[in-house]
Amino acid sequence: MDALRKPLEARPYRMARLARLPVFLALEGKRVLLAGGSAAAAWKAELLSAAGARVDVYAEDVSDEMRAMAAEAPGGVIAIIERVWTASDLQGAAVAIGAFEDDENSAAFAAAARKAGVPVNVIDKPAFCDFSFGAIVNRSPLVIGISTDGAAPVFAQAIRARLEALLPNGFANWAAAAGKWRSAVKASGLSFSGRRKFWQVFTAHAVKNPGSAPVESDFERFIAEVKGLGAAVETGSVTLVGAGPGDPELLTLRAVRALQSADVILFDDLVSRDVLDFARREARKMLVGKTGFGPSCKQSDINELMVSLAQQGKRVVRLKGGDPLIFGRAGEELDACKVAHIAVEIVPGITAAQGAAARLGLSLTDRKHSRRLQYITGHAQSGKLPDDIDWRALADTATTTAIYMPVRTLESLVTRALAEGLDLATPAAAIARATRPDQQVITCAIGELPSRLKQASLSGPVLVMVGRALDSLMQAQPRRIVATA
């Protein structure tokens, strides 16, 4: 009998050290001092004016770019004062920006600003800066700032270009509508859970229809949809999410959205911790340890916890390695939700077999060798070898078989399969921690695999694959243990 344990709330992940704290300043109607009239200073004047600031530019030598910017300021007024700045000019300024060629003038300006209690930035001179600008993706009021702490501006610009391509321009309209409708949502009479549901509906529609401009009929439709849910809106939900075999980049977009909207995440030991990095930081993360032949939570305890949290109005994500519908006990959890009348959704994931095959460059249904793919489990509910394995199908030379949870019973499984007609020389592989950086693979004939696996003592989740589709792998890595990262 496997040892039992209770669900355990995982220790919250702490924020890693930040080189800079990202802060968005409200500058509408505030005064900013900008010392310098160069082209670089003109770019900063444009940013500050776009944020609504009044920009006072102090410079004896004013570039054409600065004069042109002042003539067509994008927001707040840009006023040019053609003289050198003085310490008294800093009084009442929200921030101070300097554009100087030499360190001496930069240091004097920074010291004066700090003495006046004004945050200071000297363009391209991080040593004299209290804050930095970074690269900006503008879908205002949706704004994204990117900083490399001054180490790699070109890299920041490249990231900005990527984000620009990913974020439709229409998101600006939807972000503006959110600001416009926020007070109306509060006054709508919806409960807290109803208001949260409204913003979920709003967000889902905005993401799917970024090119359509939001109109008042959208607002009314979203409100009606939430009210139409009645008491159900006060009840939480459960989403069964496939975490994939380990590599977080194999998560589906739908899985990421579920993780980022969850209130509570119930996860197994087999889930890669890198996957949890995609979760909403504020979400509770609870280990409900389902691990191969180690201490595990009772399935009934997991079901009870999952339902209880949903009944409290929580959005619960049940996060499982691979795909929740393949040897993930999804059926029992779905039944528990249905009995409790809890809304439940399933987000499929990349299976361990698919992930391992992709990493190894294998076609599991190579038409030269395999006309069928089957997934079987290596142990029954009792922990022993299942009695109802189709041995003829396992021995079929045109079948590729993926065996889940095989470690404890592999020796007896292979012995029985060989007796039922499986060829002793059939290619086989045992893959530990599939798709992860430390993935390991044993390749050999199936007759050798149990002893090889026992000698290797592989840690982590192990998958065994058997069939002629593995011929190419055997030829490339005969009788070896390899790390594929």
Please give the Cα distance from 285 to 268 (Å, whole number): 10
Please give the Cα distance from 306 to 325 (Å, whole number): 17
| Total Cβ atoms within 10 A of residue 28 | 11
| Total Cβ atoms within 10 A of residue 172 | 17
Across 204-218, 264-278, 464-478, least confident range: 464-478
pLDDT of residue 1: 44
Write out the DSSP string of 423-469: -TT-EEEEEESTTSTT-EEEEEETTTHHHHHHHHT--S-EEEEESGG
Please give the Cα distance from 19 to 32 (Å, whole number): 25
Q: What average pLDDT is seen over the chain?
A: 90
C-alpha pair distances (Å), 304 with each of 103, 155, 262, 337, 351: 66, 48, 18, 9, 26
pLDDT of residue 484: 52
Q: 278, 295, 430: which is closest to 349 by C-alpha?
A: 278
User: 89, 247, 268, 323: which one is catalytic?
Assistant: 268
Whether 290 is a known active-site residue: answer yes
pLDDT of residue 290: 58
φ, ψ at 454 (rounded to 5°): -65, -40
Helical (H) or strand (E) element with 80: strand 78-81
Q: Are 114 and 90 in contact (CB under 8 A)?
A: no
- Tell me which amino acid residue 415 is: T
User: 290, 314, 320, 396: which one is catalytic?
Assistant: 290
C-alpha pair distances (Å), 203 with each of 262, 280, 463: 15, 16, 39
Whether 125 is a known active-site residue: answer no
- Tell me which amino acid residue 399 is: T
Torsion of CA 485, 366, 255, 205, to 10 degrees: 130
Please give the Cα distance from 121 to 127 (Å, whole number): 9
Give 193-200 contacts, CB < 8 A, sequence gap 24+.
193/233, 193/234, 193/313, 194/226, 194/227, 194/229, 194/233, 194/234, 197/226, 197/229, 197/233, 198/222, 198/223, 198/226, 200/261
What is the per-residue pLDDT across 111-141, written as a single tens digit (0 to 9) for each?
999 999 999 999 989 899 999 988 899 999 9
pLDDT of residue 331: 92
What is the per-residue pLDDT across 301-359, written as a single tens digit (0 to 9) for each?
999 999 999 998 889 999 999 999 998 889 999 999 999 999 899 999 999 999 999 99
| Local confidence band at 241 (pLDDT 50, 70, 90 cut-offs) | very high
The answer to whether the pTM exceeds 0.75 is no
